Structure 1
Amino acid sequence: MKSMSDVIENYLKQILTQSEQDLIEIKRSELAKRFECVPSQINYVISTRFTIEKGYVVESKRGGGGYIRITRAKISDHAELLRQVSDLVGHGIDQRTAESVIMRLFEEKVVNKREANLMLAAVDRSILALKYPEERDIVRARIMQAMIESLRYE
């Protein structure tokens, strides 16, 4: 059975897909009423499932006429996406963010399913068995940067 967060995420992605502009504007309170949940549930879904590393830009305006605008980030080409991903990875990246980045590369067809699975395996915390999480994040970033660099020169 899907969680409420999954249902809300799928609904938002569906209406985003139907949008001609890859953009939707929603009212948090109306969405909460539709799904019979608290507005903080909507905030949770948007802040965890619609992030820049997953390919979304979120803008929020609070107040009476407030809204949340979700835009699917468009990348002109794979080289630009790889540059953005490299900047995002930086010198340290946690596992959850690395997984989101890899899934975005897969969704944008920069890597195929097998390559994505190999990348996910290479950055898994169980493989990077270091004493301190900060060290693991640094090593994970170096591995990610090396993979991104190799993707630039296919």
Structure 2
Amino acid sequence: MENKNMSDIIEEHLKELLANEDIIEIKRAELANQFNCVPSQINYVINTRFTIPKGYRVESKRGGGGYIRIVKVKLIQYKTKLCEEIPEMISNGLTESEAFAILNELHDNDIITLRERHLLQAAFKLNGISRSSEERLLRSNMMIAIIERLTYKEREELR
């Protein structure tokens, strides 16, 4: 029997909802009540498991009529916007796991090949470089350059 923690259960529930819809809106307090947990647990799940690198965009509106909107972003649908949106979102730095998540999304959406994904993952490991903000910035700049090249290649193919 698989032993799942509450975060895994909440994530699974939200992903089931997203399997049927590209956009879901939830109320944090209602979801916390449904799973008998504190609202901060919902925040934790959303902030760590529904990120841009993992293929999700999260929007929220605070207040009594507030909501959290989770949008499943299909990279293939907005390849032309890659150059605009993702670089801005990762410009402050990118961890190794976030870089790998973006590469997985690029591969899963047939934007890069499996071989390209493996090569890029090796490059993003940055072995021998200190685990600092400089490393995250270097990784971010590398990813931005790759995404810009991918969108440039697409524009050239359309000509």
TM bin (shorter chain): 0.7 to 0.9
**Corresponding residue for 2:139?**
140
Counterpart in the other structure of 1:35:
35
User: 1:67-100 deviations in whole A, cap 9, x for unaligned?
Assistant: 2121223553434335533444447433243233
CA RMSD of aligned residues (A): 2.8
Distance 1:17 1:49 in 2: 15
Identity %: 45
Cα separation, 1, equivalents of 2:65 and 2:88: 35
Contact 1:91–1:142 (Cα < 8 Å) also in 2: no
Output the CA distance in 1 between the equivalents of 2:59 and 2:144. Answer: 29
The equivalent residue for 2:82 is 81
Task: Classify 1:30/1:91 alpha carbon distance in 2 versus 1 (closer, same or farther; 3 Å).
Answer: closer
CA 1:113/1:32 → structure 2, altered by over 3 Å: closer, same or farther?
A: farther
Residue identity opposite 1:84 in structure 2:
E
The answer to whether the 8 Å contact 1:53/1:100 transfers is: yes
Distance 1:101 1:5 in 2: 22
Distance 2:72 2:131 in 1: 35
Partner of 2:15: 13
CA distance in 1, matches of 2:90, 2:28: 31
| DSSP-derived class of the 1:123 partner | helix
Q: Which moved more, 1:26-35 or 1:77-86?
A: 77-86
After TM superposition, the structure 1 = structure 2 runs for residues 1-154 of structure 1, keeping only pairs within 5 Å, are 1-19=3-21, 22-73=22-73, 76-90=77-91, 92-125=93-126, 127=127, 129-131=128-130, 133-152=132-151, 153=153
Please state which structure has a larger fraction of its residues in helix. 2
Partner of 2:157: none
Gaps in structure 1 of 5+ consecutive residues: none
Letter in 2 for 1:141: S
The one-letter code matched in structure 2 to 1:97 is E
Identify unmatched segments of 5+ residues in structure 2: 155-159
